[in-house]
């Protein structure tokens, strides 16, 4: 009887651990996806800044403005490309992988997206300051 109770307890523990693993995986996946969703607004800001920079270059085609616009558009483009590259390589379906492999993959993905978010924020901030200065604000 004690042996059956021990086996039942062992099975219950295994199911509990599995459930806990799945909850951890879901929480980390949700965190990565949530950060991605927030960054989509930044992607929109990148597109708007690129259009504003194009307008500045059209208004003042001097070499200094052209060079500055090109530099800021490259900064924005690099950030946008990094986001698109991450999105194309991210695979949320980790079926068949071990809990450790899933957590490792998602942890690395979260670090990458944090780095890309920082790159996007920096590009938007710098181009925004240039646009404001060029517009006399």
The answer to whether residues 76 and 46 touch, using CB atoms and an 8 Å cutoff, is yes
Evaluate whether 57 touches 69 at the Cβ level (below 8 Å).
Answer: yes
Structural domain boundaries of the chain?
22-134
pLDDT in tens, the chain (137 residues): 545 543 444 344 444 445 788 888 889 888 888 888 888 888 899 999 999 999 999 999 899 999 999 999 999 999 999 999 998 998 888 889 999 999 999 999 999 999 999 999 999 999 999 999 998 86
Instruction: Please report the pLDDT score of residue 7 as a whole number.
Output: 47
Q: Distances in Å between the alpha carbon of 34 and those of 28, 41, 49?
A: 10, 12, 24
pTM, rounded to two decimals: 0.79
């Amino acid at each position: 009887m004690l042996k059956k109770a021990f086996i039942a307890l062992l099975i219950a523990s295994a199911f509990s651990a599995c459930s806990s693993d799945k909850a951890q995986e879901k929480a980390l996946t949700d965190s990565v996806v949530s950060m991605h969703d927030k960054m989509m607004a930044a992607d929109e800001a990148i597109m708007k800044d690129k259009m504003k920079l194009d307008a500045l270059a059209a208004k003042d085609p001097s070499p200094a403005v052209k060079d500055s616009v090109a530099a800021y558009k490259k900064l924005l483009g690099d950030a946008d490309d990094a986001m698109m590259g991450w999105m194309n390589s991210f695979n949320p379906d980790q079926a068949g992988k071990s809990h450790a492999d899933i957590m490792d993959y998602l942890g690395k993905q979260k670090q990458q997206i944090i780095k890309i978010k920082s790159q996007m924020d920096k590009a938007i901030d710098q181009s925004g300051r240039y646009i404001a200065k060029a517009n006399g604000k």
